[in-house]
Amino acid sequence: MAILPTIFHSHPNFEWRKTSAIFTPQISPLNINTKLQFPCSITRRRCNFHHSNTINQARSISVSNACKKNQNGCDEIFHIFKRWRDFIPGGNWWNLCDSEQLVDGSPTAANPVTVLNALSKMWALVADQQWVLYTAFGALTVAALSEISIPSILTASIFSAHSCKTTVFCRNSWLLVFLCSTSGICSGLRSGCFAFANTILVKRLRETLYSSLLLQDISFFEIEAVGDLTSRLGTDCQRLSNSVGNDIHLILRNILQGTGAFINLMTLSWPLAVSSLVICSTLSAIFLVYGRYQKKAATLAQRWTASANEVAQETLSSIRTVRAYGTETDELRRFTQGLERLASISTRESIAYGFWNFSFSALFRMTQVFAVLLGGMSIFTGNVSAEQLMKYVFYCEWLIFAAWRVQDSMSSLLQSIGACEKVFQLMNLSPSDQFLSKGLKLEGLKGDIEFENVSFNYSSRKMVPVMKNVNLKIQSNNIIAIVGASGSGKTTLINLLLQLYNPTSGQILIDGIPLRELDIRWLREKIGFVSQEPQIFRTDFQSNIIYGCSRSIRQEEIEWAAKQAYVHEFISSLPSGYYTPIDGNLLSRGQKQRIAIARAILRDPTILILDEATSALDAESEYYIKVQLEWDSEWKKD
């Protein structure tokens, strides 16, 4: 165990020292006074911000904002009058592109997803449960056909009763009972099956998205914000599956019913049927424009929501720092900036919805007036009977309503897909190369490490080289310390060794074999790593210590590792011992580091990397752990 041996190398950024320690102590060029003064001079303005004043300040900001808003309201009305042309449909005010686009530098930003793509992807996710979907579609068809036959039979029953045709009346009544029962049973079946499919879909969407995210390169997570990704996994997936549960079946149902209504209208009077169709087509044309606008608005609204979430997540998770620096009002302002953008988009979207509803109502009422006028005249001339006119009014209403519902559900579907476009883009990302290629697994790993002319820069800062032509040889069974100024690239060196990033040029060899050619999962199993800020998971101590260990572990081994890391006593003193659930926030940094060291030791790694892993430990614990590790390393050498 234990590596990073002695290297003598002349790179200006690093200083390599032979030492009995295996840590990467940081030697800062600043003296203590400089360190203390530096942050204070930067934040002097904020330091004056007394904590007790913060709430009053927040209040006074909101009061002064309210006054400003009243004044702004008058200005705005004046402005609206001056710029009325901008506010009519098609004017500048409606334009969502210029002012509202959130700059999205993510790798997925450039690929828009079509509705068909989205639907076929969702279909593929639930394809193994086809029987549920086929039952749902079958029930939907039967229910829709039964429902659309009811107005015709109902009218016939009324008129047969009116003309005292008892046999026809009885037959129609039985038929009505049959149709109502069929439609009721099939509607229940349809809703149940779609709800079931919905549940499966949301689960699969989340699984697929999560597994796609887990397999991305580390550089991906530098561009994408965690708040944004969790909001995709949560609300977006739910919203998408809801659109399948509701919108798709409403669309299909109303298409069937609208078609049935149109066929009935054609059999009654084709001029009346054609006039209804013209109105429906006008509605569809208006909807086409509105639907596109709505999709765009939904995408932008979703991005701003995610952006506001990100701010909230960042602030709430760093609440101690926010409180200590008294920046609550600044954070509130940052959060409301996103909300204001969101409100501005939603206002336009709501007004556009109002326009759409106005067009629909006006055209629908026009059809009714038109039907009564034209139908009434036809009755006078004897071309149409009263029964036919009644059926016509019924079916006309069905047709228009079906057209409206199809378009409304279509709009909601477009909105959901627009809003959740990123879910599909993220799901379509191909995994990092590391997970695609099958590399070599060596018989045994010695642990010789060599950096050959390695240069590197982070992809997010391409112009800033972090290291240039670094050459370094580390022989197995040695302990070395890498010492360098803060920001000189010590952690980056380790990141490259762990293949979290690939060198921009040069190569890293392990036992003489290029790192890229090795099976990275196999290699990582042989490496124990403790980072500067060790991560503790929300499970118990035992699970945290055995985290990532592929072999089966006995309780004694866990305790042994914990003793080596000087954390056994602390864990044993807790009432549930190793089974005590942990919240990382409730542990000291030193305790977290000791748990992480126990985790690394338990793997019995060939290469052990400690990146300032004892920086938070007291001198006694640090000494004890170092002695244990050194002893262990010497024992292995022998």
Ligand X SMILES: Nc1ncnc2c1ncn2[C@@H]1O[C@H](COP(=O)(O)OP(=O)(O)OP(=O)(O)O)[C@@H](O)[C@H]1O
Stretch of residues binding ligand X (CB under 6 A), selected from 346-354, 456-464, 503-511, 615-623: 456-464
Question: Can you tell me which residue has the tokens 């901008």?
Answer: 86
**Does 461 interact with ligand X (rule: CB under 6 A)?**
yes
Is the Cβ–Cβ distance between 413 and 391 less than 8 Å?
Answer: no
CB of 67 to ligand X, least distance (A): 44
CB of 291 to ligand X, least distance (A): 41
> 475 phi and psi, to 5 degrees?
-90, 150
172 vs 492, beta carbon nearer ligand X: 492
Question: What does the block give as tokens for 245?
Answer: 């549960």
**Does 615 interact with ligand X (rule: CB under 6 A)?**
no
Question: What does the block give as tokens for 345?
Answer: 């988009």
Q: Residue from 484, 503, 528, 590 that binds ligand X (CB under 6 A)?
A: 484
57 vs 532, beta carbon nearer ligand X: 532
Q: Is 163 in a helix, a strand, or coil?
A: coil
- The H or E element spanning position 159 is helix 130-162
In terms of Cα–Cα distance, which of 249, 307, 298, 345 is closest to 113?
A: 298
CB of 33 to ligand X, least distance (A): 19
Question: What does the block give as tokens for 591?
Answer: 């305790």
Q: Residue from 76, 222, 533, 634 that binds ligand X (CB under 6 A)?
A: 222
Q: Is 581 in a helix, a strand, or coil?
A: strand
d(CA 303, CA 418): 11
**Does 460 interact with ligand X (rule: CB under 6 A)?**
yes
458 vs 570, beta carbon nearer ligand X: 458
CB of 478 to ligand X, least distance (A): 21
In whole angstroms, how large is the CA radius of gyration of the chain?
35
- The H or E element spanning position 46 is helix 44-47
Is the Cβ–Cβ distance between 614 and 22 less than 8 Å?
Answer: no
DSSP H helical ranges for 475-588: 490-497, 520-525, 541-545, 555-564, 568-572
d(CA 329, CA 425): 35
Q: In terms of C-beta distances under 8 Å and separation of at least 24 residues, what long-range contacts does 76-85 make, across chains too?
A: none
487 vs 581, beta carbon nearer ligand X: 487
Q: Residue from 487, 500, 574, 634 that binds ligand X (CB under 6 A)?
A: 487
**Does 592 interact with ligand X (rule: CB under 6 A)?**
no
185 vs 485, beta carbon nearer ligand X: 485
Q: Residue from 64, 486, 580, 585 that binds ligand X (CB under 6 A)?
A: 486
Size of the site for ligand X (CB under 6 A): 15
Q: Residue from 458, 522, 570, 624 that binds ligand X (CB under 6 A)?
A: 458
Looking at residues 547 to 586 of the shown chain, list those that interact with ligand X (rule: CB under 6 A).
Answer: none
First CA to last CA distance, the chain: 12
7 vs 602, beta carbon nearer ligand X: 7
Stretch of residues binding ligand X (CB under 6 A), selected from 193-201, 487-495, 596-604, 613-621: 487-495
CB of 484 to ligand X, least distance (A): 5
**Does 128 interact with ligand X (rule: CB under 6 A)?**
no
Stretch of residues binding ligand X (CB under 6 A), selected from 90-98, 243-251, 458-466, 508-516: 458-466
Question: Can you tell me which residue has the tokens 């060599």?
Answer: 450
Q: Residue from 299, 415, 488, 593 that binds ligand X (CB under 6 A)?
A: 488
Distance of alpha carbon 159 from the chain centroid: 58
Q: Is 364 in a helix, a strand, or coil?
A: helix
Question: What does the block give as tokens for 596?
Answer: 């992480």
Stretch of residues binding ligand X (CB under 6 A), selected from 159-167, 263-271, 488-496, 538-546: 488-496
Q: Is 173 in a helix, a strand, or coil?
A: helix
Looking at residues 78 to 117 of the shown chain, list those that interact with ligand X (rule: CB under 6 A).
Answer: none
Is the Cβ–Cβ distance between 368 and 94 less than 8 Å?
Answer: no
205 vs 515, beta carbon nearer ligand X: 515
Q: Which residues pair with 608 in a beta bridge?
A: 528
**Does 531 interact with ligand X (rule: CB under 6 A)?**
no
Q: Residue from 299, 367, 412, 492 that binds ligand X (CB under 6 A)?
A: 492
120 vs 486, beta carbon nearer ligand X: 486
**Does 605 interact with ligand X (rule: CB under 6 A)?**
no
CB of 609 to ligand X, least distance (A): 12
**Does 534 interact with ligand X (rule: CB under 6 A)?**
no
Q: In terms of C-beta distances under 8 Å and separation of at least 24 residues, what long-range contacts does 457-460 make, across chains too?
A: 457/504, 458/219, 458/222, 458/492, 458/501, 459/219, 459/222, 460/219, 460/222, 460/223
**Does 26 interact with ligand X (rule: CB under 6 A)?**
yes
Stretch of residues binding ligand X (CB under 6 A), selected from 68-76, 204-212, 307-315, 460-468: 460-468
**Does 498 interact with ligand X (rule: CB under 6 A)?**
no
Is the Cβ–Cβ distance between 425 and 224 less than 8 Å?
Answer: no
**Does 455 interact with ligand X (rule: CB under 6 A)?**
no
Tell me the C-alpha to C-alpha distance, in Å, between residue 75 and each of 64, 69, 78, 80.
Answer: 16, 10, 5, 9
CB of 623 to ligand X, least distance (A): 22
Is the Cβ–Cβ distance between 604 and 636 less than 8 Å?
Answer: no
Stretch of residues binding ligand X (CB under 6 A), selected from 43-51, 66-74, 429-437, 459-467: 459-467
**Does 196 interact with ligand X (rule: CB under 6 A)?**
no
What is the rounded (10 degree) CA torsion for 488, 492, 493, 495?
170
Query: What proportions of the chain, in percent to the nearest 5, are helix, strand and coil?
Result: 65, 5, 25
Instruction: List contacts with ligand X (CB under 6 A).
Output: 26, 222, 458, 460-461, 466, 484, 486-492, 532
